[in-house]
Amino acid sequence: MMENHRIYFDNAATTRVDDRVTEIMLPLFAQYYGNPSSLHSCGTQAKEILESSRESIAGCIGANRDELFFTSGGTESNNWALKGVAHANRERGRHIIVSAIEHDCVLNTCKWLAEEGYHVTYLPVDEDGLVDVAQVKEAIGPKTILVSVMHANNEIGTIEPVEEIGAVCRDRGVLFHTDACQSFGKIPLDVTTACTDLVTINAHKIYGPKGIGALYIRKGVRIIPLLHGGGQESGMRSTTENLPAIAGFAGAAQLSVTEMDREARRLTALRKTITGHLSSAFDNFYINGHEKHRLPGHLSFSFHGFEGETIRLLLHLDDSGIAVSAGSACSSNDKSHNASHVLKAIGLNPFEARGGIRISMGRFNTENDVTVFLETLEKAFQSLTSIFSDSLIYSGSR
């Protein structure tokens, strides 16, 4: 059994399930285990839980309950949004626009669609990771059917101007999808004010269970299902619904939305403590992503000239019981250890783009965690300095 870290700073990868969410889920395994499609009372009871969960999550993003469809997570929702819209609208056009810093599940879906004959435009971002709305406008042509730009980036935490992008798409009659896996429950998102036609969300980034997500599909959007079968989810996504996870997702979403403002203020303050300390202690410290338009508890940073030592630093922190990440969790599946496509897109060279450190704080992190992290990081630096004295500039704690 893996030993629990004393300090878990990798909440962008996934989160610990909140005890209040576990409590909601437990009765659904042994008590309310009916199939929502069954006509007997066990089924109708399950159906009620399914529909009230749907209504509750839809309400968190200003959607109607018949516009929210459960999926197995963010990856499936993103695949469905892109493939489903592409196939349903191919007579209208075969052009799709995405940002260059989307999650791999969007980029790899685009790669697949390109092999199917679709044309994909990858929008560049500026040095803070922001998509330029004027470039979205310019890229839209008569054959464009879909624009997909994430709400907040998983690696650098930058929040994209989705309201403005959505307005441009609405004006031009093009569908707009946003991947909100990192932002949902952390910063506000309203599907109507953001002019979104499709929104991806999931539960495991907000202290809910893994393996459950949803796709918001605005009424009237032309999209085909990925899964065909017994006709669940109004025929849009067949398979028996994962009710414990769905109820947990709803509980997690409600908690996150209710606690959002207070939590955002608390995590922003913790993040500022870290950036303030590191920028004064290390002359070579720099932040990746936007300084202001970023997720509250999310910090991506590097040390100039020291990017090659990031993994060693992470292992050092891990040995001391602190879990942080190099780039995104998914990029660690990349056996060739390629440089991060996100860090390259914001202008870092391939060497620098291998050296990002990501701290993502969450509900269970405290001020004391930050203090211990900073002390441990300094010690790790001191020990690595003795090996690599030329490669870093450590000016000590000030």
Which residues are catalytically annotated? 330
Residue nearest to ligand PLP (CB): 74
Contacts of the segment 268-274: beta carbons below 8 A, 24+ positions apart: 268/296, 268/297, 270/297, 270/361, 270/365, 270/367, 270/370, 271/296, 271/297, 271/298, 271/299, 271/361, 273/367, 273/370, 274/299, 274/359, 274/370, 274/373, 274/374
The rounded distance, in Å, linking the Cα atoms of 246 and 367 is 32
Which of 182, 302 has the CB closer to ligand PLP?
Answer: 182
* Structural element, H or E, at residue 146: strand 144-148
**Beta carbon nearer to ligand PLP, 239 or 280:** 239
User: Based on CB atoms, which residue is closest to ligand PLP, 34 or 157?
Assistant: 157
The encoded tokens of residue 112 equal: 């697949």
The backbone region for 208, taken as left when phi is positive above 0, alpha when psi lies in -120 to 50, beta otherwise, is beta
CA separation for the pair 78, 86 (Å, rounded)? 12
**DSSP-assigned letter for residue 326:** S
Supply the minimum distance, in Å, between the C-beta of residue 23 and ligand PLP: 22
Site residues for ligand PLP per CB under 6 A: 73-75, 78, 103, 105, 150, 154, 179, 181-182, 202, 204, 213, 329-330
CB of 392 to ligand PLP, least distance (A): 30
User: 329 or 392, CB closer to ligand PLP?
Assistant: 329
**CB 359 to ligand PLP: min, Å:** 15
**Rounded least distance, CB 76 to ligand PLP, Å:** 7
**Of 140 and 325, which CB lies nearer to ligand PLP in the complex structure?**
325
Assign residue 271 a region (left: φ > 0; alpha: ψ between -120 and 50; beta: otherwise). alpha
**How many Cα atoms occupy the beta-carbon half-sphere of 63 within 13 Å?**
29
Give, rounded to a whole angstrom, the gap between the first and last alpha carbons of the chain: 40
User: Least distance from C-beta 185 to ligand PLP, angstroms?
Assistant: 13
